[in-house]
Amino acid sequence: MPGRLLTALAAVTLASSGLVATGTAQASGKHPATSPADSPAASTASTAIAASATAVPRHAVTGYWQNFDNGATVQKLKDVDDAYDIIAVSFAEATGQPGAVTFRLDPAVGYGSADAFKADIKAKQAAGKSVILSVGGERGAISVNDAASAKNFADSVGGLMDDYGFDGVDIDLENGLNATYMTQALKALHERHAGVVVTMAPQTIDMQSPQNEYFKTALGIKDFLTAVNMQYYNSGSMNGCDGKVYSQGTIDFLTALACIQLEGGLDPSQVGIGVPASARAAGGGYAAPSVVNAALDCLTRGSGCGSFKPSRTYPGLRGAMTWSTNWDAANGNAFANQVGAHVHGLP
């Protein structure tokens, strides 16, 4: 899931609103004031959002499953730790048709047939998990930039959902995104699959302002968006919502950047913290489980904060994501055991 952003990007000037005006690929060398969410109106909105993805718990752990072997533990879906509520299968691939995607099992993961893979999807779903298809990655070359490619995207993703039984889609496009047509594509997909689970894994620079294309897409599908699990890594230092620059891998980086999304229009239930499962899983920005848990407590409870403390709490925060379940397994499932348990214990 590494991106390719430089520390220099943090020099972007903040707008008067306090926000900058202006994703997730194959990893390791190759998303105490009273909170607005506590108000009756916000509670109603949160309930409506949650109803669009009933399979996803209030606080969820997302993990990317690698459909390839890059040195991490090779897994089948049935091997993914039970702590993961949303499993994002990585990745769908572009076809020769603009916007359209396809999916092929890599022989390296050991499935003898597509039917065996589909059976594992059903087993995870029977255990209360959501299995979605991730589109993009660092090397993904999928472009949805007009009405025709938007239709192709929606049709192909919908077809793969029907064929494999996927619960939804993860948008992990790291080479640009057109908000107008991606929003159009995802709305068309939602019309076809009303309960679709939709997640996103933008890079930090993509969520610095509601005016950015990724952020606009998230806001454009807010009525059914499940979660934005921004990649808080491979980023270098970035601006927080208070206008200060924070270094990746720290609690302040996680909380001050999450604040931009939380105060920029997304419901707390649509915001998750995305981190590498180990130092080997990304080029930079690894945060130990204790740091991730402290950031979760800071945002949801107002406790355990670093130098940055949000002006309000967000008890409805969706949870956390990691790249990847495979790298987590190679690290003794530390993320699943420590962060997973903590997420499920949030208020």
Residue range 102-139, pLDDT digits in tens: 999 999 999 999 999 999 999 999 999 999 999 987 66
Q: Does residue 77 have a pLDDT over 70?
A: yes
Contacts of 257 (CB under 8 A, 6+ apart): 204, 207, 230, 232, 238, 240, 241, 246
47: confidence class by pLDDT, cuts 50, 70, 90: very low
Question: Residue with structure tokens 């999916």?
Answer: 103
CA dist., res. 71 & res. 280, Å (int): 10
Q: What is the mean pLDDT of residues 78-97?
A: 96
Q: 30-39, 125-134, 331-340: which has the minimum mean pLDDT? A: 30-39
pLDDT of residue 37: 38
Q: 78 vs 37, which has greater pLDDT?
A: 78
Report the alpha-carbon distance of residue 54 to residue 333 in Å, rounded.
Answer: 27
- By C-alpha distance, which of 321, 323, 314 is closest to 343? 321
Active site residues: 174
C-alpha 7: how far from its chain's center?
22
Residue % of the chain over a pLDDT of 90: 81
Segment 234-284, tens digit of pLDDT: 999 999 999 999 999 999 999 999 999 999 999 999 999 999 999 999 999
- Strands 60-66 and 319-323, how do they pair? parallel
More confident call, 112 vs 45: 112
Distance CA 57, CA 54 (A): 7
pLDDT of 174 reads: 77
Return phi, psi of residue 184, to 5°: -60, -45
Residue with tokens 């000037």: 13
Indicate the SS3 state at residue 302: coil
Question: 205-215 in b/e burial notation, b at 16+ Cβ within 10 A?
Answer: bbbbbbebbbb
What's the pTM? 0.86
- Can you tell me the distance from the alpha carbon of 78 to that of 329, in angstroms, rounded to the nearest whole number? 13
260 vs 243: CA distance, rounded Å: 10
According to CATH, what is the number of the domain 23-344? 3.20.20.80
The confidence score (pLDDT) of residue 319 equals: 98
Query: What pLDDT shows up at residue 137?
Result: 72
Q: Which two tokens stand for residue 113?
A: 């047939």
* pLDDT at position 175: 77
Mean pLDDT of 150-167: 98
CA–CA dist 56, 185 (Å, integer): 22
Contact between 196 and 168 (Cβ < 8 Å): yes
CB contact set of 143 (below 8 Å; sequence gap of 6+): 98, 99, 149, 176, 178
The average confidence (pLDDT) of the chain is: 87
Cβ-in-10-Å burial (0-12, 13-18, 19+) of 159 comes to middle
